[in-house]
Chains A and B, each alone.
Chain A
Amino acid sequence: MNHTDNSLMAWPHQVPSPAMHTLADAHFIRGLEWGPPEWWQQWQRQRLAQMLHWLDAMPWWLGWVGAKVGPDSHTEALAGLPLMRREDYRALNEAHEPVVPAEHGKLTMESTSGSSGVSVKFWRSEMTLRINANHYWADHQRQGRDLTQRMAAISGYAAFNEGPHRQEAGEPWLQPGMQLVRAISQFSTEDHALWLCSHPFTYLATRPDVLSDILSTINMLNLAAPRLTQILTYAQTVDAALRKRTREAFGASIRDRYACEEVGPIAFQCPESDDFYHCAVGNVVVEVVDAQGLPVTDGAQGNVLVTGLHQWASPAVRYELGDLANWHACCPACGVSVPALSHLLGGKRPEFVGLQP
């Protein structure tokens, strides 16, 4: 394997800083998920208390919550805070200039497209982006992926490129395998299907609707489907029929990630089940509430609320995504002691439109 980046040669004397952060963050992300429940519960209390204490000094925030929450606030105090709807989030972000502690780094402005929902502009800090990205890297470990292997990405976020794809050379520390990336909208579904069938890959990352269209095209054109190991999906509901078609055509399993742009990853599919998702306790507090805003009982369905623990620039606290899910105090499939979700259904979020049963 040849890498232009030979930074591995300098170990153990030197370790590149990005690799160091990713590995250390992934260590804590996995530890909070796989360790005893007291770890993530205590850690979330501390992070939430820090964030709410910081926000107590912001007049616009006090205007929203009504009164200071205080330095001793913790996860239980969340229940006393108002639900934040998408309209509220937009109004709050328009009404204040973002301020974060210096260690959170620089801020960048982002927006969700909101083609049929409410478009929102928000800010994210370097720390937020780092933690979000490293949650996705930790998922490679969770799902037992071999990152020396090649990955294809047909992405809604990728920029247009010259030629059939953009080639991202591997780097020896975190992802030695090559990645070939192309934008969803730059090519037709037939182009995507032909491209996928003509390159050897182990993994594919794409949206469920794109995957479904590619599967149909492969079937229609009678193409020889490549053998893949895992397909990483995002942004839309994955149903059992799509999992079955994927298994039959590619021999691959789907490993879904549940996220939103405002706070990043919310839950990752259990590595031992198609049905359950482990809440990303190192990034968000997830609540599932009924129509009265009260927590649902174990196994029951309700509205998903998220609180981003690293999103201090544009705080999303008890943010109502408009998604429905069933709540589990721990994962019924593998027994890990973090809260888990099942029967995920997109509601009002633009990404989910058209996919509701």
Chain B
Amino acid sequence: MNWPAELPASTVHRVTDAQAQLALERSGTTLIAAWQTQRVAELLQWLLDSVPWWRERLGPQVNLGHWRALPILNRMELRKMVAVHGAAPVPQHHGSVSAYHLAGPPGGVVRFYTSAFSQRMVDHSFYADHQRQARNPYASHACISDDIPLHEGRHIAVAASLENGSGPQALRQLGLFTRMEHMQWLQSEKPTYLTATPQWLEAALDETQRRRMALPEIRQLLTYGATVPTTLRTKARKQLGASVRHRYTCLECGPLAFQCPRSDDYFHVAVGNVMLEVVNDAGKPCVAVKDGATAPSGQVLVTALHQYATPMLRHDIGDSAVLHAACPGCGLEVPTLSHLRQGV
């Protein structure tokens, strides 16, 4: 509350990171490529200098011009690397490193490490999406997820925060209540925004429809996890008056792409967080056969630009998509995905 005499560091980081992510997204493909190349070069240099198992994998030096010659890292290789070596050393400015154990598809527990700095980048990338999607960050927000810790009572209440730029949040553990209990709770809470997975939402909307149950008006549904079917978008609009704004994410490095604010079909790559490639079965980039035609769908490879504790270079996360040089939905010159299929 001491603004303008004092500017808390956490607020400054939040707003500058969010603005940088949005400015980068709007800066055009040349600047995006230049910025990403610089971050990749820094990451590679660190891995060669400081992480023996990555030096062994990459060789004594890497020519960025031959980026596509670098081996693709599949899910099993990554898990093995984490199991054998644990966390990679991180630069000092990354701060402390934490371990995460999450239930992740396909099957089994995923273990990975992340630094305070990487986590900051992930959090602020999600925060920037509020601005991208013209959300009021101070409005009420409900979240129903299996990532929420078990809790007493109806939900975990998080107070609004001026420093964090957030409104009141109500977090509810998915497994603690039945679908109908969750929907009744939503009716009493009347949040402006709701975060949940597409599968759960669609099943819940179907059930409330069958039971002719009244639902509140919700402005936007924020989804994550699996692909959003068109049927969910139709039901959300009809039953809640809400649009669905999907975030394409990966457990180990956060946001990969955010739905274009003007289209249901396209996803702007989170260029401030990751570099994405789409390749065919032979590991070659999927390119359009003719000028002006859409490239074929292929496997998504992720290079996480700030993830130093569990480095991921050309990581095949098991999803498929079509990559566009610019967004066909809004015209923005930013790498964009469509025909996204998660967990292929």
Residues of A within 8 A of B (CB-CB), count:
41
Known contacts A8-B20, A20-B12: A1-B31 contact under CB 8 Å = yes
Q: CA of A127 to CA of B7 in the docked complex: distance in angstroms?
A: 13
Contact with A along B122-139 (1 / 0, CB 8 A): 000000000100101110
Q: CA of A124 to CA of B2 in the docked complex: distance in angstroms?
A: 20
A211 within 8 A of B: no
Q: Is the CB of B16 within 8 A of A19?
A: yes
Q: Is the CB of A28 within 8 A of B20?
A: no
Known contacts A11-B16, A20-B12, A35-B162: A42-B1 contact under CB 8 Å = yes
B343 within 8 A of A: no
Known contacts A31-B165, A35-B167: A43-B1 contact under CB 8 Å = yes
Q: CA of A36 to CA of B167 in the docked complex: distance in angstroms?
A: 9
Q: Is the CB of A148 within 8 A of B26?
A: yes
Q: Is the CB of B27 within 8 A of A28?
A: no
Determine how close the nearest CB of chain B comes to the CB of A25; give it in whole angstroms: 6
Residues on the B chain within 8 Å of A172, using CB: 23, 27, 31
Contact with B along A11-27 (1 / 0, CB 8 A): 11101000111011111
Q: Which of A6-54 contact B (CB under 8 A)?
A: 6, 8-9, 11-13, 15, 19-21, 23-28, 30-32, 34-36, 39, 42-43, 46
Determine how close the nearest CB of chain B comes to the CB of A145; give it in whole angstroms: 12
Q: Is the CB of A31 within 8 A of B4?
A: no
A173 within 8 A of B: yes
Chain A minimum-CB-distance residue to B162: A31
Q: CA of A337 to CA of B128 in the docked complex: distance in angstroms?
A: 24
Residues on the B chain within 8 Å of A141, using CB: 131
B104 within 8 A of A: no
Q: CA of A287 to CA of B40 in the docked complex: distance in angstroms?
A: 55
Q: Is the CB of A31 within 8 A of B31?
A: no
Determine how close the nearest CB of chain B comes to the CB of A32; give it in whole angstroms: 7
Q: Is the CB of A36 within 8 A of B19?
A: no
Q: CA of A172 to CA of B26 in the docked complex: distance in angstroms?
A: 9
Q: CA of A6 to CA of B34 in the docked complex: distance in angstroms?
A: 11
B76 within 8 A of A: no
Q: Which of A3, A23, A35 contacts B16 (CB 8 A)?
A: A23
B5 within 8 A of A: yes
Q: CA of A338 to CA of B16 in the docked complex: distance in angstroms?
A: 26
A162 within 8 A of B: no
Q: Is the CB of B35 within 8 A of A34?
A: no
Q: Which of A117-162 contact B (CB under 8 A)?
A: 127, 130-131, 141, 144, 148
Known contacts A24-B15, A35-B167, A173-B19: A8-B138 contact under CB 8 Å = no
Q: Is the CB of B5 within 8 A of A144?
A: no
Residues on the B chain within 8 Å of A28, using CB: 3-4, 11, 162
Q: CA of A233 to CA of B16 in the docked complex: distance in angstroms?
A: 28
Known contacts A15-B20, A27-B15: A35-B138 contact under CB 8 Å = yes
Chain A minimum-CB-distance residue to B3: A28
Residues on the B chain within 8 Å of A144, using CB: 134
Determine how close the nearest CB of chain A comes to the CB of B122; give it in whole angstroms: 12
Contact with A along B51-85 (1 / 0, CB 8 A): 00000000000000000000000000000000000
Residues on the A chain within 8 Å of B17, using CB: 11-12
Q: CA of A214 to CA of B34 in the docked complex: distance in angstroms?
A: 43
Residues on the A chain within 8 Å of B15, using CB: 23-24, 26-27
Determine how close the nearest CB of chain B comes to the CB of A318; give it in whole angstroms: 22
Q: CA of A27 to CA of B9 in the docked complex: distance in angstroms?
A: 13
Known contacts A12-B20, A27-B15, A39-B162: A34-B136 contact under CB 8 Å = yes
B110 within 8 A of A: no
Contact with A along B2-45 (1 / 0, CB 8 A): 11110100011011110110011011101100110010000000
Q: CA of A2 to CA of B333 in the docked complex: distance in angstroms?
A: 13
Q: Is the CB of B3 within 8 A of A25?
A: yes
A97 within 8 A of B: no
Chain B minimum-CB-distance residue to A39: B162
Residues on the B chain within 8 Å of A24, using CB: 3, 7, 11-12, 15-16
Chain A minimum-CB-distance residue to B137: A34
Q: CA of A8 to CA of B162 in the docked complex: distance in angstroms?
A: 26
Determine how close the nearest CB of chain B comes to the CB of A235; give it in whole angstroms: 25
Residues on the A chain within 8 Å of B31, using CB: 1, 3, 6, 8-9, 172
10 more A-B contacts (CB under 8 A) besides A8-B27, A27-B11, A35-B167?
A: A1-B27, A20-B16, A24-B3, A24-B7, A24-B16, A28-B4, A34-B137, A127-B4, A172-B31, A310-B4
Q: List 10 A-B contacts (CB under 8 A).
A: A2-B30, A15-B20, A23-B19, A24-B3, A24-B7, A28-B11, A35-B138, A36-B138, A39-B162, A144-B134
List chain A positions with a Cβ less than 8 A from chain B: 1-3, 6, 8-9, 11-13, 15, 19-21, 23-28, 30-32, 34-36, 39, 42-43, 46, 103, 127, 130-131, 141, 144, 148, 172-174, 176, 310
